[in-house]
């Protein structure tokens, strides 16, 4: 009897322990899988574990080796590929003999028990995405590049997973600041961890031409280089005649091929963008005859002269189309993806309106205004790309004057352009600036590097790419966009990208029904040690205080304080000293008023008695200015 009681007690303790572990959770995957069941027990990875690979896809062995290399870098274990399992514990990567209609082309099923890990998918791409999940089930040190002596365990689980959208992208602007091919590869490595599959490469703009066109060497000889300036973008001194132009760079076609292959090995499609007819100053610098004014310029360094907007190609000039045909012929031959992005945004039409060649074109083509002139250009570009076996995609301004018959729209000025295009039965990639622009402030501007606008982590997480009035079949997916006017190096690019792109990865991959901010924050905090191990810089702005200014009934300035992450304590001062837990503790919903003579409020957030957010000061004059200008940055 006593023995039976002991057995019952032992069982209850084990059951309680498992229930507690399950409640606490050992699985913190981003993006959230479609279905996850955590089970008791764990698989112990060690140097006896084998890697069994089964499937005919020619890319599968390389994917398996990629995984083995990731494991070896952090654990020191060398997983040997073999076709059949022996007596040892194994990780099995299997292509389905019969198609699993639930998981589709990029989904997978993952089963982990004490003796075996089994990952199944219809394609090698599905295996690759399943491996990203498997790596997230291992301890955070797996993301590092140095061997760590520790136990390496995977919680037992059953996972079924597949993406909501086929287009899950990130854009990197390499025109404003040049990023080397190795930096681009690192950026791709970071994005695939969270199941992104499109890398939008913004290769030309006013501030630099970044791709070798062999038939037009002047594009990189002149267009890839500019004067060097340090400071805040838009406030630089303009280039002076005869000033040296050492700043910039470009990718040779061999570089491009190398990066394309690198991306393909990671199941990433590269979308190249050549931004025309506007944002073309680097091209016009190399070939002044392509603009309406035909004036000679230098590549823009980020000065205020951009406001002149003489960065637009002359649509009435046949030489423009001859040059673009050469450009797109070489680009189409380099990039295997089916799309080429032609930009099409922010074209100032004033020069066209005064240009004799453009007016002659309008007369000849029976175009009633300059909007239809832009539409003529886009439609001509579409025919040019179709002749090279590619489809045109452009920013939502390509809708102006009439959309090209087969064009795909990338909607950035909110959702309106995407809605309009989808209702016309055109495919759309949703990337509205206020949810998806990674160059915007992500927290209180007083604590952030200078930029413009605001896109908080909650903004990115809570948006949905499919408006209620649109058929989801026309929404290919979406992406985050990192414009780099204020992003001069890779470390800051990482800071601006993460963690907002973690939120967007969940928007584009996970079922909408699984969206839960509090749960996301819990899983996000489990990702930070992984980002640390991988030496990836990221923002912790979601822990910072948000100051919301307003006026009371007497017109006096008030400030309400809050945070994105719940449950934090806010402490503040008005006397220019540094607050801690012995200073005034903000009460939720309280409206603070500046004491007479106070010029700023200094704030900091704590959790469990320890600082968690940045300490920073917000000037009273800045809060007044926000109210006056009607654009509160909070």
| Residues forming the active site | 346
**Which residues are 37's β-sheet partners?**
158
What three-state secondary structure class fits 183?
A: helix
Q: Give every CB contact of residue 441 below 8 A, 6+ residues apart in sequence.
A: 448, 451, 452, 453, 454, 455, 633
DSSP letters for 320-359: HHHHHHHHHHHHHHH--SSEEEEE--S---HHHHH-HHHH
- To 10 degrees, what angle do helices 370-386 and 356-365 make? 70
Q: Give every CB contact of residue 519 below 8 A, 6+ residues apart in sequence.
A: 32
Can you read off the two tokens belonging to residue 280? Answer: 């073309």
Can you read off the two tokens belonging to residue 227? Answer: 């004067």
| Residue closest to 140 by CA, chosen among 501, 533, 494 | 533
Q: Which H or E run includes 261?
A: helix 253-264
**Which residues are 619's β-sheet partners?**
600
DSSP letters for 91-120: EEEEE-SS--TTTTTT-EEEEE-SSEEEEE
End-to-end CA distance of the chain: 66
DSSP 311: -
Which residue bears the tokens 């681009």? 184
Q: Across the chain, which distance is largest between two alpha carbons, in Å? A: 104
Residue 317 in contact with residue 349, Cβ under 8 Å?
no
Can you read off the two tokens belonging to residue 163? Answer: 């993406």
DSSP letters for 527-582: HHHHHHHTT-----GGGS-EEEEEE-TTS-EEEEEE-SSTT-EEEEESSSSPP-TT
According to DSSP, the β-strands at 108-112 and 116-121 are antiparallel
Residue 275 in contact with residue 328, Cβ under 8 Å?
no
Can you read off the two tokens belonging to residue 30? Answer: 């981003």
In angstroms and rounded to an integer, the radius of gyration of the C-alpha atoms of the chain is 27
Residue 222 in contact with residue 297, Cβ under 8 Å?
no
> 310: number of CA atoms within 13 Å, CB side?
19
Instruction: Quote the CA–CA distance of 264 and 384 in Å, as a whole number.
Output: 26
Instruction: Quote the CA–CA distance of 108 and 567 in Å, as a whole number.
Output: 36
Kindly report the number of other CB atoms within 10 A of residue 582's CB atom: 7
Instruction: Quote the CA–CA distance of 422 and 416 in Å, as a whole number.
Output: 10
Instruction: Quote the CA–CA distance of 526 and 311 in Å, as a whole number.
Output: 46
């Amino acid at each position: 009897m006593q023995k039976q009681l002991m057995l019952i007690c032992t069982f209850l303790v084990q059951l309680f322990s498992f229930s507690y572990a399950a409640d606490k959770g050992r699985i913190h995957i981003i993006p959230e899988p479609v279905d996850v069941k955590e089970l008791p027990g764990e698989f112990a990875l060690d140097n006896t574990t084998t890697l069994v690979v089964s499937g005919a896809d020619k890319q599968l062995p390389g994917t398996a080796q990629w995984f083995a290399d990731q494991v070896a870098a952090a654990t020191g274990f060398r997983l040997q590929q073999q076709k059949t399992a022996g007596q040892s514990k194994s990780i099995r990567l299997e292509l389905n003999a019969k198609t699993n209609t639930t998981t589709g082309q990029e989904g997978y099923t993952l089963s982990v028990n004490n003796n075996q890990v089994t990952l199944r998918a219809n394609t090698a791409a599905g295996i690759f995405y399943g491996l990203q999940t498997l790596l997230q089930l291992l301890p955070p040190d797996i993301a590092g590049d140095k061997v760590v002596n520790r136990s390496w365990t995977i919680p037992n689980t059953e996972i079924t997973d597949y993406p909501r959208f086929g287009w899950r992208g990130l854009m990197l602007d390499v025109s404003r600041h040049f990023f080397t091919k190795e930096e681009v590869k690192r950026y791709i490595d970071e994005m695939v961890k969270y199941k992104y599959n499109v890398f939008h490469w913004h290769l030309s703009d006013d501030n630099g031409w970044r791709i070798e066109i062999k038939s037009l060497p002047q594009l990189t000889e002149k267009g890839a280089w500019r004067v060097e300036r340090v400071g805040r973008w838009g406030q630089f001194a303009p280039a002076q005649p005869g000033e040296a132009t050492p700043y910039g760079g470009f990718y040779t076609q061999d570089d491009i091929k190398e990066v394309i292959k690198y991306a393909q090995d990671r199941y990433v499609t590269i979308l190249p963008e050549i931004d025309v007819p506007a944002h073309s100053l680097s091209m016009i610098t190399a070939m002044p005859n392509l603009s309406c004014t035909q004036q000679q310029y230098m590549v823009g360094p980020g000065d205020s002269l951009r406001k002149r907007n003489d960065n637009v190609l002359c649509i009435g000039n046949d030489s423009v189309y001859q040059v673009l045909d050469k450009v797109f012929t070489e680009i189409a031959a380099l990039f295997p993806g089916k799309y080429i992005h032609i930009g099409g945004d922010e074209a100032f039409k004033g020069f066209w309106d005064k240009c004799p060649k453009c007016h002659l074109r309008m007369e000849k083509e029976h175009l009633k205004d300059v909007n239809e002139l832009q539409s003529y250009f886009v439609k001509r570009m579409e025919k040019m790309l179709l002749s090279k076996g590619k489809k045109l995609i452009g920013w939502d301004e390509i809708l102006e004057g009439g959309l090209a018959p087969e064009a795909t729209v990338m909607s950035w000025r909110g959702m309106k352009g995407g809605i309009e295009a989808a209702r016309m039965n055109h495919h759309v990639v949703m990337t509205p600036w206020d949810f998806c622009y990674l160059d915007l402030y992500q927290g209180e501007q007083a604590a952030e590097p200078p930029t413009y606008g605001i896109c908080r982590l909650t903004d990115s997480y809570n948006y949905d790419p499919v408006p209620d009035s649109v058929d989801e079949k026309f929404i290919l997916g979406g992406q985050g966009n990192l414009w780099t006017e204020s992003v001069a190096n890779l470390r800051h690019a990482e800071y601006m990208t993460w963690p907002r792109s973690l939120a967007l990865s969940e928007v584009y991959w996970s079922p909408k029904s699984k969206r839960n901010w509090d749960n996301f924050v819990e899983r996000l905090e489990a990702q930070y040690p992984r980002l640390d191990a991988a030496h990836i810089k990221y923002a912790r702005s979601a822990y910072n205080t948000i100051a919301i200014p307003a006026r009371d009934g007497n017109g006096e300035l008030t400030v309400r304080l809050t945070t994105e992450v719940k449950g934090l304590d806010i402490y503040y001062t008005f006397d220019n000293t540094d607050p801690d837990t012995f200073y005034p503790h903000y009460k939720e919903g309280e409206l603070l008023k500046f004491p007479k003579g106070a010029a700023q409020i200094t704030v900091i957030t704590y959790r469990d008695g320890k600082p968690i957010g940045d300490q920073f000061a917000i000037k009273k004059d800045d809060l007044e200015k926000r109210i006056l200008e009607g654009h509160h940055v909070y």
